[in-house]
A and B are shown apart, each in its own frame.
Chain A
Amino acid sequence: MRRAPLTLWIGAALTGVFALAAVLSLLWTPYDVTAMNIGARLQAPNAQHWFGTDHFGRDVLSMIMVGARISIAVAVVAVGMGMVLGVPLGLLAAANRGGLVDEVIMRGNDLIFAFPALVIAILITAVFGPSAVNAIIAIGIFNTPVFARVARGGALSLWTLDYIRAAEVSGKGKLRISAEHILPNIANLLIVQGTIQFSLGILAEAALSYVGLGAQPPMPSWGRMLAEAQTMISFAPHLAILPGLAIVLTVLGLNLMGDGLRDSLDPKLRRAR
């Protein structure tokens, strides 16, 4: 069996740690994440509170664990939404390559790409109010054209191959070919892209909650923890460093994993090895 690249392992391990923390937080956290203990506020990391406490005396480790859950949940749902909407659009465009449908879909994509994502996110939250759900919708909308492009690009090269021609000649319709032959063969591309989008989704969630448009209190979120820590950085640096590290390590882990997956899944690279 061929060995997976080292980056994949490192990435998977980093991601796994945070995924595990997120799952664990469903069952157990060291302290109640919303319980405030004003008397024990702003403690540096110590034996009782491994990551210290924040300005309300909440346990930072518990908040980072629950924050991981929220970041991951938002990113998974948003990326899932982008895939579910984007991939069929991309396949449809490729099936009608050069036609009117292709033009409409791809120019629509360009339109979404042309909008600054954060501006649209602010618009959505201004209309519907800031919440984790609206953050998911905002991030999901901006994931859609990414997946549409990847799906179309991958599908276009497949449509010229002989076995697809054969399927066409045997009388299969375009949609059926897309679903039965194209989709399985671009799955690796989508998985790699999904991993990268996932890391971008986590960053986007952090950015939105940093400006107050993501998950609302009392739900902890990495971005908001960073925002709240800003004015306390001189006397409680752990409040900024720890959630910052959590974001960096998760995103790094997902990017490494994406690279590793591409290396081991991409047929062109596989042949080259």
Chain B
Amino acid sequence: MLRRLKIGLAVLALVATPALAQRTDISVGMVLEPPNLDPTSGAAAAIREVTYSNIFEGLTRFGPDGSILPGLAHGWDVSDDGLTYTFPLREGVQFHDGTPFSAEDVVFSLERARAEDSTNAQKQLFAAIETVTALDPLTVEVTLSQPQGAFLFNMAWGDAVIMSPASVASNATNPVGSGAFRFLRWVQGDRLELERNPDYWGEAPALERATFRFISDPSAAFAAMMAGDVDAFPNFPAPESLAQFEADPRFNVIVGSTEGETILSMNHQNPALADIRVRQAISHAINRQDIIDGAMFGYGTPIGSHFAPHHPDYLDLTANSPHDPEAARALLAEAGQEGLTLRLMLPPPTYARRGGEIVAAQLRAVGIATEITNLEWAQWLEQVFRGHDFDLTIISHTEPMDIGIYARDEYYFQYDSADMKAIMAELEVTSDPEARTALLHRAQRHIAEDFVVAFLFQLAKTGVANADIEGLWENAPVPANDLTGVRWAR
């Protein structure tokens, strides 16, 4: 009897094996939907969270640990004076529409990004470029006007990807890149699908199909994860549920760091907020740890300036703006701004919606009234980011090394400081590592001591994934969901 049972089990196992074949599709949850799909003409991180490395590639790329890896260029050669970069390009690469990739595409893409009328959200990445020349179809030479230590790093950004002139006009809705996945369809408001690119130049990804699902409601995200509708949620919007996922063997909780400096941003065009005393008062009114605990259930690191704590050049400046309601009230009285009312515009992420309620309560405690308006993501981009129509907002700036935004007076918070511009301009032309560190320290101190915005916390990457998935990024050195190395273990 026992033997028959064993044989029966063996047969069953044989029959069942095909059903246990590895899955080759994945469904990835995202809180924010990209407004379009062209990473070279939009600031929203969600664009790169879909396209980076999956659809579009640059000359170089970021590895999961933030290191710079070869991309479409399989290496680089830097001249001794640091002014000339020669990139040998990969052979046999073609875009998803069949157009062959060549040095001309690199010239086209970089020229387009740095052009006067470029709509690139990170034009400063290309500011040092003097010329871009195709030496032959597989070699590109870039000369810089001054040595730039961060040039290879800059070329790895999602904003510096290489596009084909043939498809550039339609990339916003039908992205055509050279990556391991090609665009299949985008059902706006619901999901976006990618499929494996059979003609990919590199190692074929393990996944055949990838679906990004857009779920901004935390409880819907929780339900989707629990029901298995979503296999991975790299930035899960309900940090309070992480403990529950952790206790469940079906899931892996992946907590890492991001480049997201979460700030209470202030509109410098508002006369009250143009007064440093008011900005300082707001900074003193804020209790960072309460926001991290109350909104993020403890996930996050307090910051006192716009710099990532895991970066070697980070300065801890949180002591510059400690929680001090008394000082805040005194500063407001001095500025003659008792009874100030400010509009607080909140985008959908949990850190903003919940953090906003806490910030409002903390501001109320020092006598600043706020009117909270919850905005949908597209509305926020339109009204706050492009329209500059806000007093206060909470947002996480997820690009790496983006302290330069404080030197751009046209940027949405419209901070205009000649000193900061001078520091950043000097940084551009400095390649000596020690001098760069000193400048980065100066920049961090400058914006902290000018209380440009209220610096809250470094966003943690709180991801949840099915326990059988391997290869998801633990940290987010750039906004990305790189699926090329993701596979099902079982």
Contacts and interface: CB of A to CB of B under 8 A. Distances in A.
A230 interface: yes
A19 interface: no
Residues of B contacting A: mostly: helix
Contacts of A56: 294, 354, 357-358, 361
A57 B295 CA distance: 11
B218 interface: yes
Given A38-B358, A217-B372, A218-B361, A231 B238 contact: yes
Contacts of B111: none
A4 interface: no
A231 B360 contact: no
B222 A231 contact: yes
Nearest to B241: A231
Contacts of B294: 36, 38, 41, 55-57
A235 interface: yes
A232 B374 CA distance: 21
A35 interface: yes
B240 A231 contact: yes
B81 to A, nearest CB: 55
A225 to B, nearest CB: 13
A119 B289 CA distance: 40
Contact of B357 (A129, A130, A218): A218
A36 B373 contact: no
A41 B293 contact: yes
B290 A36 contact: yes
A218 B346 CA distance: 13
Nearest to A36: B361
Contacts, number: 57
A212 interface: yes
Contacts of A57: 294
Nearest to B219: A230
A96 interface: no
Interface in B371-387: 372-374
B372 A55 contact: no
Residues of A contacting B: mostly: loop
B364 interface: yes
Contacts of A38: 287, 289-290, 293-294, 358
Nearest to A130: B374
B15 interface: no
A35 B360 CA distance: 10
A227 interface: yes
A60 to B, nearest CB: 15
A41 B293 CA distance: 9
Contacts of B241: 231, 234
Contact of A234 (B244, B357, B374): B244
A101 B243 CA distance: 64
Nearest to B360: A218
B360 A217 contact: yes
Contacts of B361: 34-36, 56, 218
A185 interface: no
Interface string B334-357: 000000000000000000001011
Interface string A217-235: 1100000000100111011
A48 interface: no
Nearest to B294: A38
Contacts of A36: 290, 294, 357-358, 361-362
A111 B59 CA distance: 61
30 contacts: A35-B361, A36-B290, A36-B294, A36-B357, A36-B361, A38-B287, A38-B289, A38-B293, A41-B293, A41-B294, A55-B294, A56-B354, A56-B357, A129-B373, A216-B372, A216-B373, A217-B356, A217-B357, A218-B364, A218-B372, A227-B219, A230-B218, A230-B219, A231-B219, A231-B222, A231-B238, A231-B240, A231-B241, A234-B241, A234-B244
Interface of A: 34-36, 38, 41, 55-57, 129-130, 212, 216-218, 227, 230-232, 234-235
Q: Which 8 A-B pairs have the closest CB atoms?
A: A230-B219, A38-B290, A231-B238, A38-B294, A36-B361, A231-B219, A231-B218, A38-B293
